[in-house]
Amino acid sequence: MEPKTATKWRLAKWTVALLALLLLGIAIGYRTVKHSLPQWLDSAGDVPAFMIDGSYGKFVDADMLALRKGACSHDPIEVSPMADGSAIVTCGFPILLGPIRLFVASAVDIPVLGIRQSAATGASR
């Protein structure tokens, strides 16, 4: 190989490596934002539509069990009650390989976890 060709190949390798790192950073950043979203919002209605994997009218014990047996079988499930009575449910963890799923609910009633909120009152009972 002549010197100019070797330099071009070296530059191409570095460009591909940097592009791969950039895409990895974007993917990890998106996963982190999706997992941390409940900390930044006041209502489940504020979640951007492209991030929502499902919605519930009222999230109850049976829904938690269905998630545990289905879509979130090996992932941690986190229920985050919002100030207006709605809730955001996330399953997955940013550093794990599986997908992060985000669900919204108008109300939540899970006595086992001590969470009872309705959209009308917004207060935990």
- 3-state SS string for the chain: CCHHHHHHHHHHHHHHHHHHHHHHHHHHHHHHHHHHHHHHCCCHHHCCHHHCCEEEEEEEHHHHHHHHHCCCCCCCEEEEECCCCCEEEEECCCCCCCCCEEEEEEEEEEHHHCEEECCCCCCEC
Please compute the mean of the pLDDT values over residues 107-114 and round it to a whole number.
81
pLDDT at 123 over 60: no
- The reported pLDDT for the residue numbered 52 is 92
**Residue at 22 is within a domain:** yes
Q: Would residue 125 count as lying in a domain?
A: no
Average pLDDT over residues 83-107: 88
- Number of Cβ within a 10 Å radius of residue 111: 10
Mean pLDDT, range 87-114, rounded to an integer: 85
Are 89 and 79 in contact by the 8 Å Cβ rule? The answer is yes
Residue 123 lies in a domain: no
Q: Measure the CA–CA gap between 109 and 107, rounded to whole angstroms.
A: 7
Residue 104 in domain: yes
Identify whether 75 is part of a domain: yes
The DSSP letter of residue 124 is: B
| pLDDT above 70: residue 18 | yes
Determine, yes or no, domain membership for 122: no
Residue ranges making up the domain that contains 58: 3-117
- Chain segment 24-83, per-residue pLDDT in tens: 999 888 888 888 888 888 888 899 999 999 999 999 989 988 998 988 888 888 898 888
Give the mean model confidence (pLDDT) for residues 3-23: 87
Q: Across all residues in the chain, what is the average pLDDT?
A: 84
Give a yes or no: residue 110 inside a domain.
yes
Q: How many domains does the chain have?
A: 1
pLDDT for res 89: 92
User: pLDDT exceeding 70 applies to what percent of the chain?
Assistant: 90
